[in-house]
Amino acid sequence: MEKHDLKPEWRIFSREYGTPPAFNIFPDVLKMNYEPDKYAGVSGVLPFERLKAEVGHPAYNFQSDFTLAKRLFTKYFQFPYQIVDAVETFFSFYEEQRILGLHYRGTDKVVDTFQTNPLTPELLSQPSHKG
């Protein structure tokens, strides 16, 4: 996308996070940092699986490149102000304290390398991943 300056419209559906009736996570959970391109002659939905097959190589693995993953995420997406405000309000109650947040991922994506990048203890112990 970045190489060709593409700005697609995203439709990511999730019953856990999306808003009914469509359950798309945009714009309530994520917002795009751009206006989607309106391509002449292109219509419909292009699933990631088809895009991956048409490109001819596996999806980029961000396992060891958190800097690139962060740069690309912030280039294309942002959190809505309601979420940012809620986080800032939460932290305002704990200004003098350290907070550790843990995200527990269920087993639904553990073996699907297309959706997750497993992190080994050795990888996490590298200085570039501490922080």
Q: Domain coordinates of the chain in residue numbers? A: 31-102
What φ, ψ does residue 77 adopt, rounded to 5°? -130, 160
For the chain, give the mean pLDDT.
Answer: 75
Instruction: Please give the pLDDT value at position 30.
Output: 92
Identity of the residue numbered 54? E
70-109 per-position pLDDT tens digit: 888 899 999 999 989 988 888 888 878 887 776 666 555 6
Look at residue 62 and tell me whether its pLDDT is greater than 50.
Answer: yes
pTM, whole model, 2 decimals? 0.60
Q: How many CB atoms lie within 10 A of CB 55?
A: 9
Q: What does the DSSP assignment read for 95-111? A: TTS---------GGGSS
